[in-house]
Amino acid sequence: MINMFEVNETNKMIEQENLDVRTITMGISLLDCADSDLSEVNRKIYEKITRLAKNLVSTGAEIEMEYGIPIVNKRISITPIALVGAAACKTSEDYVTIAKTLDKAAKEVGVNFIGGYSALVSKGMTESDLLLIKSIPQALATTERVCSSVNVGSTKCGINMDAVKLLGEIVLETAEMTKERDSLGCAKLVVFCNAPDDNPFMAGAFHGVTEAECILNIGVSGPGVVKTALEKVRGENFEVLCETIKKTAFKVTRVGQLVAQEASRRLGIPFGIIDLSLAPTPAIGDSVAGILEEIGLEYAGAPGTTAALALLNDQVKKGGVMASSYVGGLSGAFIPVSEDQGMIDAVQAGALTLEKLEAMTCVCSVGLDMIAIPGDTKASTISGIMADEMAIGMINQKTTAVRLIPVIGKTVGEIVEFGGLLGYAPIMPVNQFSCEAFVNRGGRIPAPIHSFKN
């Protein structure tokens, strides 16, 4: 039988070390909502989401109460809208009406984000994809809870550089249209390479076309738990360090597995996957950078950071895989700047640069995340940064992403405040040398040689 020591250990993780289930995300297929009549599409989408997700928030709250484990977010991911709206939307404004419908549905069922205002264009853009991408700035400026993502590359197809060029401009335009709120719109827009179909984490979640009608994906977290466990093995060798991370990841993931099974049973919706991620929040002690410091670095960004992050990421997966029946999504350590107090401190101390962050993204999920840059950064420079990140994903057969926030009217050294889980960030300097001629070439980068496995 369970003993007092074990009970206390679990409750200490929850109460003092910020152990939580970060998100229950309900994936809903909207493929059957396609229609040639726009108002019909909007009606069907609203009806389907509010019907299927009606009990999502209350069921989450019930599980929270009965097991004493906080479930921070309840969210929805949907089929990429560029597919659903293709037959009905003739202009970008048509797409914006769908964004507003999604926002309304999200508010009705009480979820804080709905992801999937997306297009998948790793090889080429259809007319519909193009219209949707062009509608993103207005969609994000006029809605509150809608999240957008665009997959512009993959290991199988290469990188769509036309889309990369366009998205540099779209990011800037989104920043401009939400400049009264410190360009917050860009926090809801992710550009991907190798985007997973079952990611439960925002802003990049969407319900891929390979998925079932309706599923539940769970994102677990717990950087604070890992850090506290590592405090007890200070000075020990790498074997001990890695074993400790693995065991802790196992325990954290088991809680996610339990919540997943319970939620699935109560809602009568199949369980999809658990995303084994260390997702930080701005709360003290809930930091991935804090783990890196505990491993032995003065600040995140110091020499050794990439190696420390690589081992952390790998051990989290090794521990987590056995704890869950299905693992998927992004699964890895997140290194967003604004959402992690330790990362913010590292930037302010001058220890962490954009280039070092780029190196770190080679060994963890997911990418350059929640990084504030000067508002006068050129669109081509943003595209160049995206292309670099997409190349890392394409060659290394992993997911990479870019969520940059060019803060209009602010520059290096200033602080931008997003509030809530999105946190705050010091604006980081960007390499000033031009990549315009490179970005302007147009076309696509061919698939890498190791994609030809047949």
Binding status of residue 254 toward another protein by CB under 8 A: yes
Q: Is residue 434 near another protein by the rule CB under 8 A?
A: no
Helices (H), strands (E): how many in the chain? 15, 13
Q: Which is nearer to another protein, 69 or 372 (CB)?
A: 69
Beta bridge partner(s), residue 192: 151, 401
Taking a C-beta distance cutoff of 8 angstroms, is the pair 389, 194 a contact? no
- Which one, 68 or 413, has the nearer CB to another protein? 68
Shortest distance, CB of residue 285 to another protein, whole angstroms? Answer: 20
Residue 138 Cβ, how far from another protein at the closest point, in Å? 44
| Total residues at interface with another protein (CB under 8 A) | 22
Backbone torsions φ then ψ of 400, nearest 5 degrees: -135, 155
**Smallest gap from residue 389 Cβ to another protein (A):** 36
Q: Does 349 bind another protein (CB under 8 A)?
A: no
Taking the least distance from each CB to another protein, the nearer of 64 and 176 is: 64
CB of 25 to another protein, least distance (A): 21
Residue type, 115: G
11 belongs to the binding site for another protein (CB under 8 A):
yes
CB 271 → another protein: shortest distance, Å?
Answer: 14
Nearer to another protein, 2 or 449 (CB): 2
* Cα 353 from chain centroid (whole Å): 21
Min dist CB 342 to another protein, Å, is 26
Among residues 24, 28, 30, 69, the one that binds another protein under rule CB under 8 A: 69
Q: Of these, 3, 36, 237, 454, which contacts another protein (CB under 8 A)?
A: 3
Element (H, E) at 425: strand 424-426
Choose, by CB under 8 A, the member of 37, 40, 68, 124 that binds another protein.
Answer: 68
Q: Which tokens hold the place of 363?
A: 């060994």
- Within 259-278, the residues that bind another protein by CB under 8 A are 262
Is the CB of 29 or the CB of 315 nearer to another protein?
Answer: 315
Give the whole-angstrom CA distance, residue 99 versus residue 118. Answer: 11
Residue 356 to residue 383: CA distance in whole angstroms? 18
Count the alpha carbons within 13 Å of 192 in the hemisphere toward its beta carbon. 30
CB of 338 to another protein, least distance (A): 31
Q: Which of 86, 258, 362, 435 binds another protein (CB under 8 A)?
A: 258
- Alpha carbon dihedral 397, 303, 311, 347, in 10-degree steps, equals -80
Q: Minimum distance from CB of 31 to another protein (Å)?
A: 35
Nearer to another protein, 250 or 424 (CB): 250
Task: Select the span of 256-264, 399-407, 408-416, 438-446 touching another protein (CB under 8 A).
Answer: 256-264
Which range touches another protein (CB under 8 A), out of 7-15, 25-33, 141-149, 311-319?
Answer: 7-15
User: Is residue 449 within the footprint of another protein (CB under 8 A)?
Assistant: no
Q: How many Å apart are CA 206 and CA 28, to the nearest integer?
A: 9
Backbone angles phi, psi at 336, to 5 degrees: -70, 145
257 contributes a contact to another protein by CB under 8 A: yes
Supply the DSSP symbol for 201: S
Query: Which residue from 450, 388, 403, 390 is spatially nearest to 193, judged by alpha carbons?
Result: 390
For residue 50, which of 101, 3, 4, 84 has the smallest C-alpha distance? 101
User: How many C-beta atoms surround the C-beta of residue 56 within 10 A?
Assistant: 22
Q: How far, CA to CA in Å, does 80 sit from each of 39, 132, 141, 149, 244?
A: 18, 10, 19, 9, 39
What's the one-letter identity of residue 5?
F
Residue 102: closest CA among 201, 173, 188:
188
Rule CB under 8 A: choose which of 36, 65, 239, 268 binds another protein: 65
Our finding on whether 325 is near another protein (CB under 8 A) is no
Cβ 4 to another protein, closest distance in Å? 4
Q: State the minimum distance, in angstroms, from the CB of residue 259 to another protein.
A: 9
In the complex, what is the shortest distance from the CB of residue 68 to another protein, in angstroms, rounded to a whole number? 4
Q: Which is nearer to another protein, 46 or 250 (by Cβ)?
A: 250
Site for another protein in 214-253 (CB under 8 A): 251
Q: Which is nearer to another protein, 248 or 381 (CB)?
A: 248
Give Cα separations from 442 to 133, 269, 405, 438 (angstroms): 17, 44, 24, 9
How many beta carbons lie within 10 A of that of residue 356, not counting itself? 17
CB of 62 to another protein, least distance (A): 8
Q: Are 370 and 335 a contacting pair, CB within 8 Å?
A: no
Which of residues 8, 325, 431, 434 is near another protein by CB under 8 A? 8
Cα separation, 211 vs 287, whole angstroms:
32
Sign of the alpha-carbon dihedral angle for 16, 282, 112, 273: negative
The residue ranges that bind another protein (CB under 8 A) are 1-4, 6-11, 62, 65-69, 251, 254-255, 257-258, 262
